[in-house]
Structure 1
Amino acid sequence: MTKLTLHNLKLAEGSKTKKRRVGRGNASGKGNYSGRGMKGQRSRSGGKSKLALRGLKSYLLRIPKNKGFKSKRPSKESVNLKELENLFETGDVITPKDLHKLGLIRTTINGVKILGVGKLSKKFEVQANAFSKTANDAIIKAGGKAIIITKKEKEEKKDNKK
């Protein structure tokens, strides 16, 4: 087998076919009506209708589908106590923005819920949208505060900025 170089490159057999010349007699296989059928608008020259009218369905089929559904009540981002224990110092005030900066949550839009997985020995003031019962008990037992932030407080803060 010879080495492939620019001067000996060839197209694969059958990859490029010549355009069929229609209307050149019946022996060619495309005589008489030249593949257009009999009467009607599409048999005439310039008789094809616009792509927007005929090809719309195939275009719509090519668009990716939005499968499933989007919840009207999206779930809150969750953070465990063991993560707070590892990343924060005693006496820190922990807000959703702090959790977002450290990469514990992706967004603060849907709210944050603190879950009670892990042991807590440090004293924190944790601000979140929701707490599990075990997390709330563990924070209070360690001497900290569990403060629930509501959406109204968020809206008031936005109004104050304006």
Structure 2
Amino acid sequence: MQLNTIKPAEGAKHAKRRVGRGIGSGLGKTAGRGHKGQKSRSGGYHKVGFEGGQMPLQRRMPKRGFKSTTLKFNAEVTLSELDRLGLAEVDLLVLKEAGLVRSIAKVVKVVKSGELTKAVKLTGIGATAGAKAAIEAAGGSLA
């Protein structure tokens, strides 16, 4: 094999369809653009969702819902995850290193899901009322 003999695999390359090249090509005259109208012309363009001046569908529909931008900074940890971690003291940095919360998380809350058997001291982490009761019952505390 030499550099001058290298070529693409069979069928990998195919010629671009040449439109508007006479009747015999099957794509002559209007070149597949139909007759008249904005889309048949060169430079014919309209915005996505444009309906010819009629009020577009996305503006006719009522506005609904709300997506908080701070939602991505919040995270949840379950009691069973804390139990599996097996540490006496837990803070935000420990949870990030263990991979229990995302690295961009700023606010972490413990939710009551599963059981906690070891005493855990939480610093800088919130908890739901049920989770707080479970942590204190296991001999842990929140700070």
Superposition TM-score, scaled by structure 1 size? 0.48
Give deviations 1:43-94, integer Å, cap 9, x for gaps: xxxxx8xx7xx74x44xx39xxxxx7531552731111111101123xx210
**How many equivalent pairs are there?**
104
Q: Which residue of 2 aligns with 1:17?
A: 18
Amino acid at match of 1:81: L
Paired residue for 1:135?
131
Larger radius of gyration: 1
Say what the alpha-carbon RMSD is for the aligned residues. 3.9
Letter matched to residue 83 of structure 2: E
Runs of 4+ in 1 over 2 A off after TM superposition: 8-12, 15-21, 72-76, 107-110, 127-130
Cα distance in structure 1, aligned partners of 2:97 and 2:20: 62
Structure 1: where are the runs of 5+ without partners? Answer: 22-27, 31-36, 38-47, 63-67, 148-162
Flag structure 2 segments of 5+ consecutive residues without an equivalent.
Answer: 1-8, 23-27, 31-35, 37-41, 50-64
* Structure 2 equivalent of residue 78 of structure 1: 76
Aligned mates of 2:18, 2:125 — CA distance in 1: 66
Identity of aligned residues (%): 26
The one of the two structures with greater contact order (alpha-carbon pairs below 8 A, sep at least 6) is 2
| Larger helix percent | 1
Contact 1:78/1:112, CA 8 A, preserved across alignment: yes
Structure 1 contact 95–127 (Cα < 8 Å) conserved: yes
SS at match of 1:98: helix
- Which secondary structure does the structure 2 equivalent of 1:16 belong to? coil
Counterpart contact for 2:90–2:120, Cα < 8 Å: yes
Q: Which residue of structure 1 lines up, in the alignment, with residue 97 of structure 2? A: 101
Contact 2:121-2:142 at 8 Å conserved across structures: yes
1:82-161 to structure 2, matched below 5 A, reads 82-89=80-87, 92-147=88-143
